[in-house]
Amino acid sequence: MGTYLVTGAAGFIGFHLCKRLLTEGHRVLGLDNINDYYDPTLKFDRLGELGFSREVETYGKEVQSTVYTTGSFIRLNLEDYESVVQMFRCHHFDAVIHLAAQAGVRYSIDHPFAYTQSNITGFLSILEACRHTQVSHLVYASSSSVYGLNSKQPFSVHDGVDHPISLYAATKRANELMAHTYSHLYGIPTTGLRFFTVYGPWGRPDMAYFKFARAILSGEPIEVYNHGDMYRDFTYIDDVIEGIVRLLGRPPGGQRNGTTGDPATSSAPFVLYNIGNNKPEKLSDFIRILEVNLGKEAKKRYLPLQKGDVLSTAADVRDLEGAVGWKPTTPIEKGLALFCQWFLWYHEKVRCP
């Protein structure tokens, strides 16, 4: 059994990863600052599912799970480097899974400093702590948004990504470059994962599918950008978690001469992968499936494409398949049915934030 640090543990992907690792008997320390980017009620409810009481509100206090004997949680800001490195020195992590970040493409347009503080300074704290405590594998979240203005699809990790169209995307690309630097200078094995529109139970309220479900149930109109003529590689949460888990015990080694220019691999122990469904779905079809599962038709307000948005995303996942045999297995019809089942329960029993 391994010992893992999961940052962003109160978030959507972090919560599901902690639950999977704890269920399998691993020792897990979850970390999150529980910020108010969206209503923290959902974050506390996720932590409650993992057996953590509201004691987690206390900054810097490590709290034990009452459900999983190998689980603990600490509330910290990653920019608080002294506390972060002290935490690393008190634990020996077999791997660090860094999922904490300031999320949201549109939010980055109006709140740019939140992204440099969390996504750049916070990530630097993780890299420095890994360096000084000799962590054997750092897995970190990147994003499909790094592809920006790339028009060649499906997006490949071997293509250049030099034209981001949001600050969020720019910070995620910066993370990849920072990771490569630390892999090269200090030999830290780093694996970057470019996630493609992850959805499912306990998801983020700022994501379109969550906002659509809430609006449909309340009879409010939903905002459909580009008149629904957009495509996304919607990826179900369980598929994402499976990919992460398979990679934990597979730290990269140097794979090529560092002068050939392939962005995804290096002579340093560094690699990038896409995690996507490999089957883009049209937004209007996605909404139709939501309507069927919620038993109610949406009132639609059609709007033009927003700044920072792209028309289509599609993931080339052959590298990840070749490395660990991973393939997405959840079709959109099944994934949305599972999300709606959870959403209806949460809306009724807990009330959506």
Residue 46 burial (10 A CB sphere; 0-12, 13-18, 19+): buried
- DSSP three-state, residue 311: coil
DSSP letters spanning 69-81:
TTEEEEE--TT-H
CB 62 within 8 A of CB 107: no
- C-alpha separations of 74 from 6, 88, 166, 169, 302 in Å: 10, 12, 31, 28, 43
DSSP letters spanning 76-122:
--TT-HHHHHHHHHHS--SEEEE------TTHHHH-HHHHIIIIIIH
Amino acid at 226: N
DSSP 8-state class, residue 205: T
Active-site option among 168, 199, 209, 236: 168
Known catalytic membership, residue 168? yes
CB 275 within 8 A of CB 241: no
Give Dmax over CA atoms of the chain in angstroms.
Answer: 57
- C-alpha separations of 93 from 6, 133, 176, 211, 321 in Å: 10, 9, 21, 37, 26
- Residues catalogued as catalytic: 168
